[in-house]
Amino acid sequence: EAGVVQSPRYKIIEKKQPVAFWCNPISGHNTLYWYRQNLGQGPELLIRYENEEAVDDSQLPKDRFSAERLKGVDSTLKIQPAELGDSAVYLCASSLVSGDAGELFFGEGSRLTVL
Amino acid sequence: AQSVTQLGSHVSVSEGALVLLRCNYSSSVPPYLFWYVQYPNQGLQLLLKYTTGATLVKGINGFEAEFKKSETSFHLTKPSAHMSDAAEYFCAVRKTGANNLFFGTGTRLTVIP
């Protein structure tokens, strides 16, 4: 069974440029998460989807970040315009069920460097 | 509020030695607890989790962790370190009934030949 697939793996852009990351979760997983992992830190939740609905986006910087999950499968996270502080690894995860002891399965991440 | 503290951002052990990675959590109620491992340039992989029941939890690759409510701890151990255990380890907590995982800052394990 294929795991969570993310692309691109690496992206280098100049500040003020836009960037987008794509995530394909494990088939059948209704819950999708985007996390940001800064260097030397643990992942922090940006947004969580239940099917196509964003049910927790309280930590998403909405002035420059946006996300969508059309049809409740693939998801895209966009940053426009990017700032130097956005340099991080963006992790996508999915789970069969949300809450409690449901296991999150993570993709390999998209490493963003903003120059 | 949920929080997780991992003592020691870097731990070095000799091959064959005991591995002990520390994790303490703060929660008003017993939460669900997780350990994830992250190998270089890879995503996080679940090592083990505590939900309810037996407080000693066994995971993959010979790791285990013990939930101690009185100490609010969930330390990760492995009797004998292997070179392949070198990675970053994250402790995470989820409050029962909640949907978000809160991660610690991670501990980088180095195994010395």
pLDDT above 90: residue B53: no
Say if residue A27's pLDDT is above 70. yes
**B10-40 pLDDT per residue, tens:** 999 999 999 999 999 987 666 889 999 999 8
- Per-residue pLDDT, averaged over A65-69, amounts to 96
In Å, how far is B73's CA from the nearest CA of chain A?
18
Is the pLDDT score of B89 beyond 70? yes
pLDDT for the residue A11:
97
Cβ atoms B90, B9 nearer than 8 A: no
Residue in B101, B95, B48 with CA at minimum distance from that of residue A34: B101
Query: Which tens digit of pLDDT belongs to each residue from B92-108?
Result: 988 766 667 889 999 99
CB contact under 8 A, B90 and A42: yes
Minimal CA separation from B20 to chain A, in Å: 19
pLDDT the model gives residue B2: 62
Q: Which phi and psi (to 5°) does residue B82 adopt?
A: -120, 155
Q: Which among A47, A100, A103, A110 is the top mutation candidate for probing chain B, defined by the most B β-carbons within 10 Å of its own β-carbon?
A: A100
